[in-house]
Amino acid sequence: MATQEKPTADLADPTHPKDLHSPEATKALGGMKAPPSGAYKIVSVPEIHSAVLDRYVRPGSYVSNDEAESPWVPFGDNAAIRHLAFDVRNNVYANVLWIKSKGVIGTHKHRGMVWAIGLEGSFRYLEYDWVCRPGEFITEFPGHAHTLVTDEPDGMKAFFWMQGANEFYDENGEFVETLDVWWFINHYETYCRENGLEINQQLYL
Amino acid sequence: MATQMKAPPSDKAEIVDVPYAYRDLVARTSPGGRYIDVPDDNESPWVPFGDNAAIKHIAFDVRQNIFSNILWIKSPGVIGTHFHRGTIMMVCLEGSVRYLEYDWVARPFGVILETPGESHTLVTDHPDGVKLFGWMQGPIDFYDADANFVETTDVFWFMNHYETYCRENGLAINPKLYL
């Protein structure tokens, strides 16, 4: 099947796009050094089950920089969170954390994995020896407890993708609350409600 | 505050109201857990997978490309070589099963883990075949006997397998199977 053709989706009689996977083609596997097409156009990908896919596939989301799509929600006096995604099936939440000037997000313990990229300023954890600056990437894993600080006069912004529970402690090591995807949903929705803002359905995966 | 739980802290057969601030949000936004009465063929039918095998579909999750089912091979037979791109957990329920590539034979209650990058050929030598519960994430590439790639199966293949059979046999689609 030529890749330019829209594949037929006759579910009663599915035909395999076998000529894309001929012995010659499969023996060439591992030889790809770059994207095999540089054509500036949409190429129709063979999809035998397109009827099922079209019906059930979960669309991706897009959230622009416009604060109307997701506002900065205060998180204490010196920080704010811009929520980007909530996934209740996986207890996943993604957002940008903004600490506005030198400051601290107190000690917390992760029960899931975290990916983060620095966007502005810098931040570090008192427990580690690195500093995360714009464009730099970090991961955190279940069982890590740490204390986030920024020493910058203009603070920091970083994108976080977090999975699982996140336990917050006070400065005496007393447990205060476990944050999860619903804490983040509540944080976002409460602010929207109190400020007459519409809930953005794009944020709910 | 540090305590070490040695056993479940309550053995009372009563519902305890767990303090949790976001119960309303959970009720509104969560798809919810559920019970699939798998032994009941009205809940999910056995859908033929070749002449000697059938699949009873249990769960489809299009957000994570997860599919769960029971694979039944009815007598000694083979599910041909396939290559995994995701993680699999399987439990042998009846009969026995092995892979030509490995040195173990799974028996009932035995648990099989498979990880991305592995390819193997599933065989049952048991006179009554095998029933296997599987929780599978990610695509599975199937090859013919000459190692020619045939098709990549993913959650949409499994949904299509289930829904086509339901349509052809006038069965209602069970929404409980869709996470």
Predicted model pTM: 0.85
Of A26, A49, A88, the CB nearest to B156: A49
A120 and A27 in a single domain? The answer is no
What's residue B73's pLDDT?
98
Length of chain A, please?
Answer: 205
Q: How near does any CA of chain A get to the CA of B179, in Å?
A: 8
- Please, which residues 65-84 of chain A have a Cβ atom closer than 8 Å to chain B? none
A17 and A114 in a single domain? The answer is no
A40 and A140 in a single domain? The answer is no
Hey, what domains does chain B have and what are their CATH numbers?
Answer: 36-177 (2.60.120.10)
Mean pLDDT of chain A: 89
Task: Provide the sign of the torsion angle of the four alpha carbons A187, A85, A78, A179, taken in this order.
Answer: positive
- Specify if A107 maps to a domain: yes
Q: Return the DSSP state at B29.
A: H
A184 and A91 in a single domain? The answer is yes
Band of the pLDDT at A36, cuts 50, 70, 90? confident
- Percent of chain A predicted with pLDDT > 90: 78
Query: Does the pLDDT of residue B170 top 60, yes or no?
Result: yes
A28 and A95 in a single domain? The answer is no
Would an 8 Å CB–CB cutoff place A58 in contact with chain B? yes
Please write the tens of the pLDDT for every residue from B106-160: 999 999 999 999 999 999 999 999 999 999 999 999 999 999 999 999 999 999 9
Please write the tens of the pLDDT for every residue from A57-114: 999 999 999 999 999 999 999 999 999 999 999 999 999 999 999 999 999 999 999 9
Q: Which two tokens stand for residue A29?
A: 């596997």
A162 and A137 in a single domain? The answer is yes
- Number of structural domains found in chain A: 2
Give the integer Cα–Cα distance in Å for B172 and B163.
9
Give the integer Cα–Cα distance in Å for A105 and A39.
47
Identity of the amino acid at B96:
S
A79 and A111 in a single domain? The answer is yes
Would an 8 Å CB–CB cutoff place A22 in contact with chain B? yes
- Specify if A68 maps to a domain: no
ipTM over 0.90: no
Question: Which residues span the domain enclosing A18?
Answer: 1-57
Judging contacts by C-beta atoms under 8 Å, the chain A residues touching residue B25 are 182, 185-186, 189
A50 and A114 in a single domain? The answer is no
Q: Which of A4-18, A167-181, B149-163 has the lowest mean pLDDT?
A: A4-18
**Chain B nearest-CA residue for A187:** B22
A45 and A78 in a single domain? The answer is no
Of B43, B51, B103, nearest to B70 (Cα)? B43
A182 and A126 in a single domain? The answer is yes
Of B114, B77, B81, B83, nearest to B96 (Cα)? B77
